[in-house]
Amino acid sequence: MKQRLFVVFLCSLLLPNFVVAQETKTNDRELSINNIEEYYTKDTTRIHSDYRKALEVAPSLVMRLKAINEAEEAYNNLVNEYFKLLFQNLNKEERILIMNDQRRWKQYVRVELKLYNTFAKPPYVQKSDNKEQYVYYAKRYLEQTRQRAKSLYLFLLAINRRNNQGLYKIEKECVSPLL
């Protein structure tokens, strides 16, 4: 949450007419470990489509930042949703691992945002390039959030396959035919 507020704060300082994106509501659906593939495909397609449409309508700097922020918020909602679902489907030891992993990821993102903020200002960039630098770093932040959503999705997919196939089949596939 702090990361998003930081990005929105930076954008609002840079662009006084910047409009904060509204959070997408995902609470009214039946997401489960069994239908994760379907929802991931629908969600990512919708996010990408909305992002492209926003850029086509008005490719100005303000609209690019707004589209990037909305896409990042949507992916961040997926991260939170997938983390909760993943947490529900893990045992105690695995929960500790995923909590530590999530904590480290959030810490990494906070540090990256500080770096983005530092290197988007003079003396690192010319004042005329400053706004484009914010767009570049906002895109990098979006890509980090998208990758995190994808990694949590892959964890959920692995759990789904484990539940549906059973451990014996997975172990059997890993055995080399040469042994």
Name the residue ranges covered by the structural domains of the chain: 2-10+33-174
Tell me the average pLDDT across 2-24.
45
Q: What is the pTM of this model?
A: 0.72
Segment holding 170, helix H or strand E: helix 167-174
pLDDT score of 35: 87
pLDDT above 50 (res 24): no
Tell me the average pLDDT across 74-99.
94
Mean pLDDT, the chain, rounded, equals 78
Question: Which structure tokens are listed for 1?
Answer: 């949450």
What pLDDT digit, counting tens, does each position of 26-78 carry? 445 677 878 889 999 999 999 999 999 988 887 788 888 899 999 999 999 99
